[in-house]
């Protein structure tokens, strides 16, 4: 064999080390590239939105189009109502589904349902809106907050279901066995021992799902439609913050744009605060993706 491999690799070694440095540099560069948009989005949200963030914005309803002033109280209330209603509809189903997957899901049926839940999570929200439009809006002959909430609930279900499953599975076996040893039937064990233990994680999941659906406008376009006026009637059309941002963003008036920025700042601020609180309370295993 020819000479020592080690010695003949000297120049190559310098090249390898340079390649290593170069690629490390590329990785750092990629991080910078990924963070630049975040910085600019947050920067513009604050600088363009802070001016419009007034008490009027929170307490007034929109003026007639073209007349500066007014606020988006109706949209804030609408978002709160529909998100709340969606949670009320979706959470029990989602938790039930998650419990099913964790308790009875270690077989083929469970695998299928789990897979479908994942598929459901990937369905575009605009098609969910169309689905509810055909299911509720057409038969009822009207856009309603209820339909909007239903669409949001469909988006929330897979998120909360998978989190519930994971959290229930994290409950130690010993706890469950202790309950069985006392002669508790399964349903009591799950309701009294397993679910309470898993509650912090499930609550995290629900909160994060909330901050996700609070930002959704696509499923509301054909269900709750939006509403210029303040309304708390769930069987009427209702406004929501993301819907109003959408309308104002494409609208012709400068004060609309200013209010759109202010609403965006409000929305993103609320989502970030919630996510930070959840992170501080429950750690990092759970993240939210819009």
Partner 1 sequence: MAVTTLGRSGHRLRLMNRLKPGDWLFTALVSAAAMVVLVVIGGLFYELTSGAWPSIREFGPSFAWDTTWSPSQGVFGAGSFIVGTAITSVFALVFATAIAVFVALFLVEIAPRAVARPVSYLVELLAAIPSVVYGLWGVFVLGAFIRDQLGPAITRAFGWAPFLDGTPLPTGLLNACLILTVMILPTVMAVSRDVIAAVPRSQREGVLALGATRWEMIRLAVLPYARSGIMGAAILGLARAVGETLAVTLVIGNRVGIPDSIFDPAYTMASVIANQFTEVESDLHRAALIEVALVLLVMTVLINVVARLLVWRVTKGQRAVVLE
Partner 2 sequence: MRNTGILPTEQDAARERHPAAAGQAPEPDSQAQRAALRVENLSAWYGRKLAVADVSLDIAANSVTALIGPSGCGKSTLIRTFNRMHEFAPHARVEGRVLLEGVNVYDPGIDPARVRQRIGMVFQKPNPFPTLSIAENVAAGLRFLGVRSRAEIGDRVETALKLAALWDEVRNDLKKPGIALSGGQQQRLCIARAIAVEPEIILMDEPCSALDPVATLKIEDLMRGLAERYTIVIVTHNMQQAARVSDATAFMLMGEDGAGHLIEYRPTQELFTRPQDRRTEDYITGRFG
Interface map 149-178 toward partner 1 (x if CB under 8 A):
-----x--xxx-xxx--x------------
Question: Could you tell me the smallest distance in angstroms from the CB atom of residue 70 to partner 1?
Answer: 19
CA-based R_g, the chain, Å: 25
Contact pick of 72, 81, 85, 99 for partner 1 (by CB under 8 A):
99
Interface map 185-224 toward partner 1 (x if CB under 8 A):
xxxx-xx-------------x--xx-xx-xxxxx--xx--
Q: At 162, list the tokens.
A: 């998978």
Cβ distance 228 to 243 under 8 Å?
no
* Start-to-end CA span in the chain (Å): 60
Q: Where are the alpha helices (DSSP H) in 50-144?
A: 55-59, 73-104, 108-121, 125-132, 138-140
Cβ distance 158 to 117 under 8 Å?
yes
Q: State yes or no: residue 187 binds partner 2 (CB under 8 A).
A: no
Tell me which residues in 6-65 interact with partner 2 (CB under 8 A).
Answer: 6-10, 12-13, 16-17
Residues counted in the chain = 290
106 binds, among partner 2, partner 1, none (CB under 5 to 8 A by kind): partner 1
Contact pick of 72, 145, 238, 267 for partner 1 (by CB under 8 A):
267
Q: State yes or no: residue 148 binds partner 1 (CB under 8 A).
A: no
Question: Could you tell me the smallest distance in angstroms from the CB atom of residue 72 to partner 2?
Answer: 49
The CA-atom distances, in angstroms, between 199 and each of 10, 161, 168, 286 are: 60, 13, 9, 14
Query: Whose Cβ is closer to partner 2: residue 25's or residue 66's?
Result: 25
8 binds, among partner 2, partner 1, none (CB under 5 to 8 A by kind): partner 2
> Any bridge partners for residue 62, and if so which?
70
Q: Return d(Cα 59, Cα 258) in angstroms, integer.
A: 16
Contact pick of 8, 14, 28, 50 for partner 1 (by CB under 8 A):
28
Kindly determine how many residues on this chain lie close enough to bind partner 2 according to the rule CB under 8 A: 12
Q: Return d(Cα 44, Cα 49) in angstroms, integer.
A: 7
DSSP, collapsed to helix, strand or coil, labels residue 70 as strand
SS (H, E, C) 121-144: HCCCHHHHHHHHHHHHHHHHCCCC
Interface region with partner 1, contact rule CB under 8 A, candidates 71-79, 192-200, 230-238, 262-270: 262-270
Question: Could you tell me the smallest distance in angstroms from the CB atom of residue 78 to partner 1?
Answer: 15
Interface region with partner 2, contact rule CB under 8 A, candidates 2-10, 36-44, 53-61, 214-222: 2-10
Query: Whose Cβ is closer to partner 2: residue 9's or residue 290's?
Result: 9
Kindly determine how many residues on this chain lie close enough to bind partner 1 according to the rule CB under 8 A: 108
Q: State yes or no: residue 92 binds partner 1 (CB under 8 A).
A: yes
Burial 230-251 (b: 16+ CB within 10 A, else e): bbeebebbbbbbbbbbbbbeee
């Amino acid at each position: 064999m020819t000479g020592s491999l080690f010695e003949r690799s000297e120049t190559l070694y310098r090249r390898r080390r340079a390649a290593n440095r170069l690629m490390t540099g590329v990785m750092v560069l990629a991080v910078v590239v990924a963070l630049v948009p975040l910085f600019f989005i947050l920067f513009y949200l604050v600088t363009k939105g802070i001016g419009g963030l007034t008490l009027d914005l929170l307490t007034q309803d929109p003026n007639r189009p073209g007349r500066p002033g007014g606020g988006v109280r109706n949209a804030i209330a609408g978002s709160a109502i529909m998100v709340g209603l969606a949670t009320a509809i979706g959470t029990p189903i989602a938790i039930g589904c998650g419990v099913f997957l964790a308790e009875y899901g270690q077989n083929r049926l469970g695998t299928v349902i789990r897979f479908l839940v994942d598929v459901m999570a990937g369905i575009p929200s605009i098609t969910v809106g169309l689905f509810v439009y055909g299911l509720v809006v057409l038969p009822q002959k009207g856009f309603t907050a209820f339909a909007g909430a239903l669409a949001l609930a469909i988006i929330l279900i897979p998120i909360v279901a998978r989190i519930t499953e994971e959290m229930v599975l994290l409950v130690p076996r010993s706890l469950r066995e202790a309950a069985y040893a006392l002669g508790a039937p399964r349903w009591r064990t799950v309701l009294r021992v397993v679910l309470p233990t898993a509650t912090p994680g499930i609550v995290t999941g629900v909160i994060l799902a909330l901050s996700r659906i609070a930002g959704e406008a696509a499923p509301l376009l054909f269900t709750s439609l939006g509403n210029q006026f303040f309304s708390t009637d769930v069987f009427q059309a209702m406004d929501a913050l993301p819907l109003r941002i959408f309308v104002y963003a494409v609208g012709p008036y400068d004060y609309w744009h200013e209010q759109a920025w202010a609403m965006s700042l409000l929305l993103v601020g609320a989502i970030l605060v919630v996510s930070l609180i959840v992170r501080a309370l429950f750690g990092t295993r759970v993240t939210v993706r819009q």
